[in-house]
Structure 1
Amino acid sequence: MSVSDDTCNAKSAESTSVVRSLYSDTDRYLQSFGAFLKDSDEHDAIINWITKYTDEMIEHFGGKKELKLMSVGCGDGQVDLVIIEKLKAASHFEKIHVTLIDPSGEQTERCQTLLQGLTAPESGKAQVSLTFKTTSFEDYIAGYEGEGGELPKYDIVYLVQMLYYVKSPFSVLENSIRSLEGTGRLFLIHVSGHSGYAKVWKKFGPRLPQDDNCNYTTADDIRELADKLGSHVQVDQNEITSTFVIGSDLKSSLNGQLAVDFIVEAAHFVEKAPEPLKGEVLEFIASDECSKMNEKGELCFNNNLSAITMYVR
């Protein structure tokens, strides 16, 4: 689905009057997200890719003694923990400074708790310092621009599963590139354009409820925006295989209903969506277009991701 404003604002009377965005119902969102975390291998898939990529970055920055990182949308810090621990253990770095940005105070507190042990001095390892910013990335950038100052520069900038929640993905990409040091690297992880989500969103997006931000964006949309940054920016894209076990009963089982909510980003979709929309969506999610049966007879939704890396040539 396109990230244009027209597409984001397109809504059908058949859905918007009775079904609300998943993000408008915090309790239901937490339920569906919890089910997703339990029944998908996304966390492991992301961590495996990031572990390998961090090894590449250790080699790439082998001549530096000091590294500066910016985590945009750090969440609870699970990804940051993996990256910082590996960089800290690399023998040639002496200092690592990390700026962590997230608009949620609750998430920031969780991140602080998880990462606080990394700042303790350890013999033979880099000294880590952490700076937390409880703000949106847009406001973080605006703070520097409003004061007429230059953006801080970083060796590594990363955005993991966060570009769904911004008003202008292109602006975020552009400012992230502007924040890179000369040999710096930017990477992001986002739902793949070949995933089941992409197919569901492309087919039904205009008929599904949306909040103020355009959530139905895929890595292919992001890649198109990245290509507009200019010929001086190198853009590479790799697929990350992942599955989400959604069961075989999407209508009456709670896990099935929560899975549907998470996929279409709508609260209580099975209960509240009108026909024929509900029937069409459930049939499509369960079809070979989006899902496959595993050896246990469980329906597995295509949860593939894309890793997009960028740097200035």
Structure 2
Amino acid sequence: MEYPFKNLMEDDSRYLKSFQLFRERSSEQQCMQNFIRGILSDILASIGNGNGCLNVMGVGSGAGNLDLEMFSQLSLTHPGVSVHSEVVEPSSEMLENYQDLVSKTPDLEHVKFNWNKMTALEFEKQWREKNPQKKMDFIHMIQMLYYISDPGATVSFFRSLLNKNGKLLIILVSGKSGWVKLWNYKTKMYQNPISHSVTARDMKSYLDAMGITNTYYELPSQMDITECFNEGDEKGELLLDFLTEVSDFSKTAPPNLRSGLLDLLRHPDCSTEVDGRVIFNNSLGVLVLEPDH
């Protein structure tokens, strides 16, 4: 049955509130920061061709927090090297937040930004028209392939942009994450969900089948969703909005759909209970790809 839900992505203000709460309740940012400062730092040391400049691209960069972490590691692994950064982000508010963060962050004089307010597909079309020869040393695609109808084709395009020693970083939820069960449930809620069920393991299987060399890392992450079970709780309702991608889900969903969702969120395949708190499995998978030449 199709329900008259409002897409959360079309409600910028509520989306940003729910996303910020997700970041506060989740260990996702911390686990990615640890990965960037550890494993990724060693990977970044191998990119570049020694010409004093690195071309970097963030596809779906959001508010830029993780991008700046990567720039910091690039400064450590490639001291004195300038960086040209292509930022691709369709949300006006996210892009403004990124620009504001850059203005408040010292030691970014070596980074030149080119802002692209557009989707990955729009950017691909523009790039093919304007920059057919330009190559990138590092491209990252963090938690954005869910919104692409053909993730394999999109990955193939951006991988084709890599320089000889370039790397493409992809981060998605892992196959063990509670998001997998949640996505399956959301197909009952609406015929055309905002995001698509694609995990890092799905992408790895695709890459392996295509004979594309890749390295896989698992990043354990969790999110406290206890407030979701307190009816009328403002933070709980924002978290439910984020999990369902529906604006004001509790106010628009029929009681049986809401109760079914809450039962699913408590299921051991999605969450565990620790000291009276409901902890959602938000684990991530990371893929690192080499160039296609």
What TM-score do you get using the length of structure 1 for normalisation? 0.81
Structure-2 separation of matches of 1:78 and 1:105? 16
Structure-1 separation of matches of 2:248 and 2:172? 25
Say yes or no: does 1:303 pair with 2:282: yes
Structure-2 separation of matches of 1:59 and 1:245? 35
Partner of 1:282: 262
Aligned length: 288
- Residue 202 of structure 2 aligns to which amino acid in structure 1? D
- Residue 139 of structure 1 aligns to which amino acid in structure 2? E
| Aligned mate of 1:66, from 53, 59, 64 | 53
* Paired residues for 1:152-301 under 5 Å: 152-202=134-184, 204-209=185-190, 213-227=194-208, 230-231=210-211, 233-247=212-226, 250-252=229-231, 253-295=233-275, 297-301=276-280
Per-residue deviation at 1:188?
A: 1.4
> After superposition, what is the alpha-carbon deviation per residue over 1:237-269, rounded to whole angstroms, capped at 9, x for unaligned?
221111111116515133333322222222333
> Unmatched 5+ residue regions in structure 2?
none
* Paired residues for 1:49-198 under 5 Å: 49-61=35-47, 64=50, 65-90=52-77, 92-116=79-103, 117-120=106-109, 127-146=110-129, 150-198=132-180
Structure-1 separation of matches of 2:154 and 2:161? 10
- Residue 49 of structure 1 aligns to which amino acid in structure 2? F
Partner of 1:29: 15
Instruction: Name whichever of 171-180 and 33-42 sits farther off.
Output: 33-42
- 8 Å contact kept, 1:191–1:304: yes
Percent of aligned pairs with the same residue? 26
Per-residue deviation at 1:38?
A: 1.8
Structure-1 separation of matches of 2:159 and 2:250? 41
> Unmatched 5+ residue regions in structure 1?
1-12, 121-126
Per-residue deviation at 1:98?
A: 1.7
> After superposition, what is the alpha-carbon deviation per residue over 1:100-157, rounded to whole angstroms, capped at 9, x for unaligned?
121233322322232244443xxxxxx332222222222222123345x525211111
> After superposition, what is the alpha-carbon deviation per residue over 1:264-287, rounded to whole angstroms, capped at 9, x for unaligned?
222333333235433222112112
Q: Aligned with 2:250: secondary structure?
A: helix
- 8 Å contact kept, 2:171–2:286: yes
- 8 Å contact kept, 2:56–2:136: yes
* Shift in CA distance, 32/142, structure 1 to aligned 2, threshold 3 Å: same
- 8 Å contact kept, 2:221–2:281: yes
Structure-2 separation of matches of 1:91 and 1:249? 45
Per-residue deviation at 1:37?
A: 1.8
Q: Aligned with 2:166: secondary structure?
A: strand
Structure-1 separation of matches of 2:176 and 2:26? 17
Structure-2 separation of matches of 1:140 and 1:56? 29
Per-residue deviation at 1:180?
A: 0.5
What TM-score do you get using the length of structure 2 for normalisation? 0.86
Say yes or no: does 1:47 pair with 2:33: yes
